[in-house]
Structure formats: structure tokens, C-alpha cells
Amino acid sequence: MSKTKVNFTFDNVTLPEIISKVLLKKTLKTLIDYVLFSEKCKIDIINLYFCDDKVISQYNKKYLKHNYETDIITFKYNEDNIVESDILVSVESVYRNSFVFKSIFLSELFRVIIHGLLHLNGLDDKTKQQKIYMRKKENFYLKSIGINN
């Protein structure tokens, strides 16, 4: 299995107290390797950036021309045969969504990370059919790691 280098940045965000950053990093690294391997997607480096709604809204407006916050934004770059990605995750949005969808924080966090990885593999969610397919893939990976929502 090809190993992706994952860099973690936590920018002024607070995780629920029961979540250890060390354990979260290890778990997310394993999840990322599993999904990318299963999807046959080669990404050399992922910069995983945990931020708040304000920061992700600024990126969304500046780079995607969307004037709203979101839970995840994924950027993919390909330079000198090295594929790199920046994945921004709004911890505030994930936390809020966990209440809206009646799931636990980690489950929702894993879902958005999987969602971002699927985007890196070329999946889209602009149409209803694409959204349904993306959700099925997210649920498949969540279930395969023991999370049933």
C-alpha cells in the first residue's frame, strides 16, 4: 500500500475534550491510506488544515467564489509528478453538523474527510445522482471502519 504523507495543522480550533490530537492524527492517517488505496488514488502529500468557519468562508469566497461557509474544501495540485492536496476542514461546521444529523463528532469528521478524499479521486457531487453516489461511498467507508450512522 502506497503511503501518503499527511501534515496536520490545527488553526485556533478546539476539539471535544475526549479527543486526543495524537490519536486523531493516527486514526485519520490510517483512514486516509485506506480510502486512497481502496479508490486506487495516488496522492503524495495531504496538508490537512483544521480551521474555523471564518477561515473556511474566506477560502471558499476567494478561491471558489462561494459566499458561505462549508465543512470541507479540497484542493489538488500536480507538479513535477508529485500530487499534493490541501484539505481544509471547518471544525465548527463539523461540530454543528453532528447535531443536525444526530451523529457523533468523530463520525461526522470522518465522513467529511472521506468526502474530501473522494473529491481527490475525481468524484463530484453537483447533481442529485452524484450526491447519492458520493453518500453511498461515504457510508461504505464509514461502515467498513465500524461506524454506522
pLDDT attached to residue 14 = 86
% of the chain at pLDDT higher than 90: 83
CA–CA separation, 95 and 71 (whole Å): 9
HEC secondary structure over 90-142? EHHHHHHHHHHCCCCHHHHHHHHHHHHHHHHCCCCCCCHHHHHHHHHHHHHHH
pLDDT attached to residue 3 = 84
Long-range contacts of 104-113 (CB under 8 A, 24+ apart): 105/16, 105/19, 106/19, 106/147, 107/142, 107/147, 107/149, 110/28, 110/31, 110/142, 110/145, 110/147, 111/138, 111/142, 111/149, 112/71, 112/72, 113/28, 113/31, 113/32, 113/48, 113/72, 113/87, 113/89
- The cell for 75 is 484542493
Q: pLDDT tens digit string along 48-85?
A: 999 999 999 999 999 999 988 899 999 999 888 889 99
Q: What is the helix (H) or strand (E) element at residue 86, kind and residue range?
A: strand 82-90
Q: pLDDT tens digit string along 6-15?
A: 999 999 898 8
Average confidence (pLDDT) over 95-112? 94
Provide the H-helix boundaries in 20-90.
Answer: 21-38, 53-64
Q: pLDDT tens digit string along 15-36?
A: 887 788 899 999 999 999 999 9
pLDDT attached to residue 19 = 83
CA–CA separation, 52 and 70 (whole Å): 10
Domains of the chain (ranges; CATH) run 5-144 (3.40.390.30)
pTM confidence score = 0.94
pLDDT attached to residue 149 = 65
